[in-house]
Every structure is written in structure tokens, then in C-alpha cells.
A and B are shown apart, each in its own frame.
Chain A
């Protein structure tokens, strides 16, 4: 059930990882700056990629800039290695680099992701690359880029709490469920990309390097290893993550983010892990004979 791509069908006529070395150097400079200023959005000369904007061009450029022949790449979308977009991006790198790809979180040196952080804790030396559609958390408060950059520079984030206040006033609790705002290293307000808030605590003091790429909006930002990431909240309405009343119906996990699957047209549903590798690994452990 595991897919691995062989290096046999690599692409002729393109540089390793598609981008030319000059461009990679430019992106690496932006990444270094981003690491030096955790949570700050570094503008970069985003290139036009052979994949559409909004489909991970930022993440792809970041991965292309840091990947080397010895790396092992994992690509997930919605937590799964086998959604078409994840497959497509993994194929792209397999063809343009010939590197080994994997579905196992523990084996990967680089994990490119859209909308999830794997359930298996990341370790020292790993890099997780997030695909970011809209990097600016303040955009709903202020549409002008010139002004939001000033608000970041001056650390004027109080208005961000206005939205949270509104949620509590109208719903009794903070209604944001994904793309939930965080403060990085007690300085910059950062948009964690549309991961569920369930994943927010995983960003805090994570041993892995976390890189964020927004291709269309031409921004890169980063959370270095072991950096504080705090989700915004109120003292009397502390940040909380989602909880399920169910366990995964395939592996029995009670600690993972669950996808709801509709089984028939009469509303029958089941809940299964969104992280397909995590789920499979648990099942393999329970039943070593499973094919």
C-alpha cells in the first residue's frame, strides 16, 4: 500500500529541482532572513512555476531551494500522502531531483504540507515546509499592504483581538477553527496557514525547522527550531483545540485529527485519521501481518 517513486522517470533538460541555482540562492537568502526574524514575512522574488498559483508554488519554491540529492521527501495534503495534489507535487520533485520519496513521517528529511502537521512528532534536523495561500493575518482588518507592514513593524496587534472578542460576544467562544492566529517568539503575529487549530500546539517549541512559502503573495516566513508559538486568546477564554467524541474507526486512535467520511446517501458517517501515514503505521503495529 506504500507508494515510492523510482528515479527512473526523471526529467531531462531542467536543473536539479527545476529552479536555476541563482534563483535558489535568492530564495535561500530570504529563508535565512526569515529564520533570523521568526514570524516576519520576507518578500522574495517568487518565480512563475509550472504549477498553478494557489496550489503550493510557495512551498514548492522553498522545497526546491533547500532540497539536496540526499534528502528524503514526504508530501502531504490534508494529512494524506495520496491526495492528487500531494501526489502531483511529489512526482514533480521525483522527476526534477530523483530524490527518494517516502510516506513515513519519521523517514523524511523534508516534509512539504498543505493544511496539516503530521501526528508523529517531528524531530531535530527535519524541515517542514508549509504551503501558504494568504500570509497576512491582518488582511481582514486592513486591506492595504503598506499599512499592515507598518502594523507589524510597530507591533500593533491589539485590533486582532477585536475579532476574537466578536466571536465570544456572538458565539460564546472563539469561533476560528483553522488558520488560527499565533504570536511567534513573543513578537510577530503570524498566520499558520490553514492548518486546523488542533495542530497549533505542535508548532510551539518544535525541534524541526518550520518554513512557510507563499508563492502568489511572494512571501517567506519561518519558525526556527525550539521557538515559542502562542495562539492568541483571552485570559478568561483560553485557547482550546478541537476534541472528538469518536476514535478513529480504522486504527482506534483517540489523539489524532479525524476526517468525517460519508458512507451512504442516508447520512451514515465514519471518522478516520486525517494523517494516513499515522493511521497505517498504527494498524501495521496492531496487526503485523496486514498487507
Chain B
């Protein structure tokens, strides 16, 4: 005798407990602390902050712990928390020209004012698994400059002064960008809105799109004009004071790609730029973002829109991993009402098909 499935509620509660147990793992090993995650999984923390659009290393570390290291799940946790936060004010634009640099490289000039600063990077580590790390051990201290690096002008400013690089000046009335997390995305989206979307977009998605532009799907002939990473001050102007005060500092990575542009009827040939800015030390993401930003400018620069990375609606509607993950995974929710309707249809069509076939005794199908 069939009994309708009951007990969904109990199943969910049990699932929660099982998950908590799995998360903790073998209790003979010490439990992870948030300080350890912040301190030793810093790049994961940065990525969760960037895609979670919330600069809070402590909460990002908590999210990573709660999600067992599943970065997209951690981003989701951070986003869901972020929604509930009040909006107290808007900061002034950060000044990346005044960045306290930890790393700064340019691929377009051998040497630049302020110098090339390699900083901490995996680029030249040769990727040999370090078995000493498995055993645990002490770390030799690194040689660093005695005093902080001086602020260095951005390469794009140097190029801009020569007129080689298209100027990017704010619109006359410099309208405040719309807030994507408060208002729906509408098309065509202007560049400020696009950058906002890309900054919180999925690193993997942007990486693949950026890569596609290099492989001929809308080549923009990019050069990494400058990548800089470090900390910048965040300032606000409280209404009651009327002047800016610093409320703290955040770590960011900025990438300015310099791209060819043939010029048009109204503009001489010059370089144009693609821009990437991400919380923390997410260099790969910043570079991919800059490639995609540039390719999304195709329409305003009078270039033919032919490749996915140039299509606004395609890129901006599919960049968000929380949206994508939810919708892909909703396929595991029950769909049996719709499926029942399809079953009926397919059976009807099959019956009609069978009826139209010449009579034959050996093809009878079990009902």
C-alpha cells in the first residue's frame, strides 16, 4: 500500500545535524579557528570578500569555515548576510594612485617611475609541491624595504599625458552609479554599472570569458599596462562635519589593460583601456575583469559585436555565481508535476506513432 511521503521536516533537521558533524570532521584533529583561516587561507578570504561584495575578513573567514571551504557557498552566506545590513552612507571614491603598494608591475615599460615591485607572488614559485610544508616548519623572514614604498603614479596617467591613451573623464554631472544590489539591472547598462557587476562576478566565469577574447572571440590586443596591489584609505564625508575623514583601509588589486584602437571619424588612433578592480589580492580576477571590461566597450567604440565577451546581456546576466549556482541546482527540486505533464504527452505521441505503423504482431509494447 502506498503512503504519501511524509517527514520532510524531520529529514531537514537530521540533514542539518549530519552536515554539522561532517563539517567538524575527525574530532581528534583541532578545530580550525577564524584567525587561522584569515591568516593562512588569505587568498580564499579575499575571493569570498570580493564576490560576496563585503569587505570583512572576519566574516569571510567564518563563511569559509561554515561552508567547509566551498568558496561559492561561502560567497552565498556572506551575500545573504550583507542584504540585512543598513546603508549608513557612501564613501568617497578610493584613490588607487595613493595606494600603499605591496606589488606593482607593468608589462608595457621596462622601468617606470616608482619602479617595478614584484611583491609576494606565486608567479615564479616553480610549482613544486613543498613536502616540508606538509611536515610543518618555520618560515625564514623575507627581506623587505626598511621604509614604506613611496606612492607611485599610475602608468595610465603617464600615457594619458601624452594623449596616447583615451582620456576617461567622468560625465559632466558625474551621476552617482546605481546600486546593483538595490535596483534591477536594466539594459543598456553603462560602464559604471558593468564594472560593478564584473567586480562581484565569478572569477572562473570572467577568466574563461577573458581567455576567449585572447583566442580570437573579440580580440582587443591587450597589454597589461599596470597591475598594482596594496592598501588604500576609505574616506567618508559625514554630513554634520562637511569634510572627509578616514574610516579605515582596505586591500585592493587594480589592473589597467591597455588596448589598441584604430580610431574613428571623430577620434585619432590611440590606446583605450580595460579596467579591473577587486578586493584583496585577487590578481587573476582583476586581469580577467579588465579584459572583459574592454570587450564590453565594443559598442561605444564602434566595434562589431560578434563574440560572447562583447555581449552585455550575455556577460552581465551570467556573471553572478550565486544566481547561477542557485538556478543550476534548483534542478534537483521536485519537478514531478511538469514531468507528469510531459509523460502524458510523450505517451500520447507514442500511441499515435504506434497506431500509424503498419500492423505487426511482434512489436507490442508492455503497457
Contacts and interface: CB of A to CB of B under 8 A. Distances in A.
A133 B352 contact: no
Contacts of B7: 82
**Secondary structure type dominating chain A contacts:** loop
Contact of A82 (B5, B184, B187): B5
A177 B346 CA distance: 11
Given A52-B329, A78-B336, A260-B340, A146 B187 contact: yes
B21 interface: no
A6 to B, nearest CB: 12
B8 A258 contact: no
A262 to B, nearest CB: 10
Q: Which 8 A-B pairs have the closest CB atoms?
A: A53-B326, A54-B330, A52-B326, A177-B341, A54-B327, A218-B184, A50-B80, A43-B184
Interface string A142-164: 01111000000000000000000
A13 to B, nearest CB: 9
A53 B323 CA distance: 5
Contact of A54 (B84, B182, B329): B329
B80 A178 contact: no
Contacts of B83: 47-49
A274 B337 contact: yes
B184 A77 contact: no
Given A48-B83, A196-B341, A91 B330 contact: no
Contact of A270 (B2, B86, B325): B2
A107 interface: no
A14 B325 CA distance: 25
Interface in B294-348: 313, 322-323, 325-330, 333-338, 340-345
Interface in A212-241: 216, 218-219
Nearest to B331: A54
Interface string B1-39: 010111111011000000000000000000000000000
A166 interface: no
Given A43-B186, A53-B323, A258 B340 contact: yes
A145 B187 contact: yes
Contact of B344 (A44, A115, A242): A242
Contacts of A146: 187-188, 313
B82 interface: yes
A124 interface: no
B184 A45 contact: yes
A181 B82 CA distance: 37
B86 A77 contact: no
A57 B326 CA distance: 10
B218 to A, nearest CB: 18
A44 B79 contact: no
B349 A171 contact: yes
Interface of A: 1, 3, 14-15, 18, 20, 43-50, 52-55, 57, 77-80, 82-88, 91, 114-116, 133, 143-146, 171-172, 175, 177-179, 194-198, 216, 218-219, 242, 249-250, 257-261, 263, 267, 270, 272, 274, 276, 279
Residue picked from B86, B323, B335, most chain A C-beta under 10 Å: B323
A84 B12 contact: yes
Contacts of B187: 144-146
B340 A91 contact: no
Given A87-B8, A177-B341, A77 B329 contact: no
A83 B183 contact: no
A194 B182 CA distance: 27
Contact of A263 (B2, B183, B188): B2
B271 interface: no
A178 B338 contact: yes
A257 B337 CA distance: 8
B258 to A, nearest CB: 31
Interface in B183-208: 183-188
Nearest to B352: A172
Residue picked from B84, B86, B338, B340, most chain A C-beta under 10 Å: B340
A219 B328 CA distance: 19
B326 A178 contact: no
Given A49-B83, A53-B325, A175-B345, 13 more contacts: A18-B84, A52-B322, A54-B327, A78-B337, A82-B8, A84-B8, A87-B8, A115-B338, A172-B352, A179-B338, A242-B341, A258-B340, A274-B336
11 contacts: A48-B80, A48-B181, A54-B327, A57-B326, A84-B11, A87-B8, A116-B337, A146-B313, A257-B340, A258-B340, A276-B4
Contacts of A86: 8
B76 interface: yes
